[in-house]
Chains A and B, each alone.
Chain A
Amino acid sequence: MSDPKRTPFYNQHVEAGGKMIDFFGWELPVQYDGIVAEHLRTRNAVSLFDVSHMGEFSIQGEKAVENLQHILSNDVVKLKIGQAQYNFLLNEEGCFIDDLIAYKMAEDCYMLCVNASNTKKDFTWIESQLIQPVDFKDISGETAQIALQGPKAVQVMNQLVDTDLSKIRYYHFEQIERKGVTITLAKMGYTGSPGFEIFCPWERGEEIWSKLIQAGEEVGIAPAGLGARDTLRLEAGFPLYGNDLDEQTDPLQAQLERFVAFDKGDFIGKQALVEKKKSPLEKTFVRFILEEKGVPRAEYPILDLQNQAIIGEVTSGNHSPLLGKGIGMGYVKKQMLTNPNKIGIKIRSKVVPAALVEGSFLPGKA
């Protein structure tokens, strides 16, 4: 087993007191001063996350769009330069190989950002499905990524760039040149709080991280680790591949049909999904909030409250620092649900009642 890889910010993590762990072959901080503290700081001020472990691929050439339309679920043709789009890589059964973001960098030039845990798998899969000629590369090793998230993110970024940041719309990005370095500044994130995802060349990462820490000092910026990243995305209601999405689950079950463009031409998984649409779902993704004390966790059974029948399983769960309650997501066989608004979560010997919620757990968000 080889040593875990390090991102450009390894030294900075250690200096800041980061508790380093092996995350899918990467040495990353799970926390610094505490998951709850880092979580709340992100919601109230601003945090910095090292997300350089994520995979990035570039796909270029005249056949780039044709290839993307073939392997991705969403309609890539809709993308304009400077726009990003949530997408799925589906297999022939219409099930998730990965979820990812596609970016249109220039004409016939796209970037895909994939989960760190799936980088090798995705690359091998896409390579095997390519319609040549097309230029497809793994640029993960040259691309560092930082997430700047929180209500003060724009304020911090404004100190470092001349661009009018209010011009960058959600799920859009700008490529900014600073001292001969191109950085991609995307207005989006995985926390549910406003902010940016910043792509830069690997060797300039350390410098950019320092500049962001400096610029954010007056608003109390601090780095946040993988632990907070997970509790934040959970509160935002975002699924995580490996927990909520996997190769035994499809977008219909995951309630993510809106990211599948059934009206575009043929794509991998389309036929299987068209067939599946004809029958009721075997399982349906739900989000819930506990009505009593407890922490729901992955693999805990979900029961029908009336008859105590096991109707599903939790796939993601934790304590919500903002709500002060246990929240989670999972799959249930909806046909077996007696009360459409409530379920029971089996936490050791107790069945804790939980209310079903739609979308995000965050107040004021869809």
Chain B
Amino acid sequence: MHDGVDMEVRSELKYTEDHEWIAIEGDIVTLGITDFAQNSLGDIVYIELPEVGTIVEASEAVGNIESVKAVSEIFSPVAGEVIEINKDLEEEPELVNTSPYDEGWMIKLKIDPAELNDAGLLNEEEYVKMTENKGS
């Protein structure tokens, strides 16, 4: 059972205060939720993702995660266009619980890389520290 100490984080990713991770490759970012987040949410039963082509604003709610405990919003830290969503999550939402950083990826966005600087992103260390302090 996770106790906050052995939550998985990955050094190559960036994180948000809302417990999302993003992988940056030029002007394409991939977004998902962290191991800490999936553990807090418990069993995930549905994931509502935006349609491909949707234009999203920074800090806007782009989707919802329904778990047995509660419903939680998915936020994008940066503005962009949704170019791909993970269709596997339609039939297997539990992939977010079992593989939050790999098979549980959620959205791919086309962005303006310059906007990443103002996005308030945290690195691995900063994110781990945040989870230890908040414990939320």
Within residues 17 to 36 of chain A, which ones have a CB less than 8 A from any CB in chain B? Answer: 17, 19, 30-36
B71: A residues at CB distance < 8 A: 295, 297
CA distance A297 to B46 in the complex (A): 14
Q: Please tell me if A91 contacts chain B, counting CB pairs below 8 Å.
A: no
Q: Please tell me if A319 contacts chain B, counting CB pairs below 8 Å.
A: yes
CA distance A231 to B67 in the complex (A): 12
Q: Is the CB of A348 within 8 A of B68?
A: no
CB distance from A39 to the nearest CB of B (A): 8
Within residues 35 to 79 of chain B, which ones have a CB less than 8 A from any CB in chain A? Answer: 42-43, 45-46, 64, 66, 68-69, 71
Q: Is the CB of B43 within 8 A of A294?
A: no
A33: B residues at CB distance < 8 A: 1
- In the complex, residue of chain B having the shortest beta-carbon distance to the beta carbon of A295: B66
Q: Please tell me if A201 contacts chain B, counting CB pairs below 8 Å.
A: no
Per a CB cutoff under 8 Å, which of B1, B46, B69 touches A227? B69
Q: Is the CB of B46 within 8 A of A35?
A: no
Per a CB cutoff under 8 Å, which of A35, A293, A348 touches B69? A35
CB distance from B112 to the nearest CB of A (A): 28
CA distance A30 to B45 in the complex (A): 18
Q: Please tell me if A360 contacts chain B, counting CB pairs below 8 Å.
A: no
Q: Is the CB of A319 within 8 A of B66?
A: yes
Q: Is the CB of B66 within 8 A of A231?
A: no
Q: Is the CB of A36 within 8 A of B46?
A: no
Which residue, of B1, B42, B66, B68, has the highest number of chain A Cβ atoms within 10 A? B68
Q: Is the CB of B1 within 8 A of A295?
A: no
Q: Please tell me if A118 contacts chain B, counting CB pairs below 8 Å.
A: no
Q: Is the CB of A34 within 8 A of B1?
A: no
Knowing A36-B43, A295-B45 are in contact, say whether A319-B68 is a contact too (CB < 8 A).
yes
Q: Please tell me if A117 contacts chain B, counting CB pairs below 8 Å.
A: no
Q: Is the CB of B42 within 8 A of A227?
A: yes
Q: Please tell me if A175 contacts chain B, counting CB pairs below 8 Å.
A: no
CB distance from A352 to the nearest CB of B (A): 11
CB distance from B75 to the nearest CB of A (A): 15
CA distance A149 to B45 in the complex (A): 24
Q: Is the CB of A231 within 8 A of B1?
A: no
Within residues 1 to 43 of chain B, which ones have a CB less than 8 A from any CB in chain A? Answer: 1, 42-43
Q: Is the CB of B68 within 8 A of A35?
A: yes
CB distance from B66 to the nearest CB of A (A): 4
Q: Is the CB of B46 within 8 A of A31?
A: no
A37: B residues at CB distance < 8 A: 43
Q: Please tell me if A318 contacts chain B, counting CB pairs below 8 Å.
A: yes
Q: Is the CB of B69 within 8 A of A294?
A: no
- A-B residue pairs in contact (CB < 8 Å), sample of 24: A17-B1, A19-B1, A32-B1, A34-B43, A35-B42, A35-B43, A35-B69, A36-B43, A36-B68, A37-B43, A227-B42, A227-B68, A231-B68, A293-B46, A294-B46, A294-B66, A295-B45, A295-B66, A295-B71, A297-B71, A318-B68, A319-B46, A321-B68, A348-B64
Q: Which residues in B have some Cβ–Cβ distance to A below 8 Å?
A: 1, 42-43, 45-46, 64, 66, 68-69, 71
14 extra interchain contacts, Cβ-Cβ under 8 A, other than A17-B1, A35-B69, A318-B68? Answer: A19-B1, A31-B42, A33-B1, A35-B43, A35-B68, A37-B43, A231-B68, A294-B66, A295-B66, A295-B71, A297-B71, A319-B45, A321-B68, A348-B64
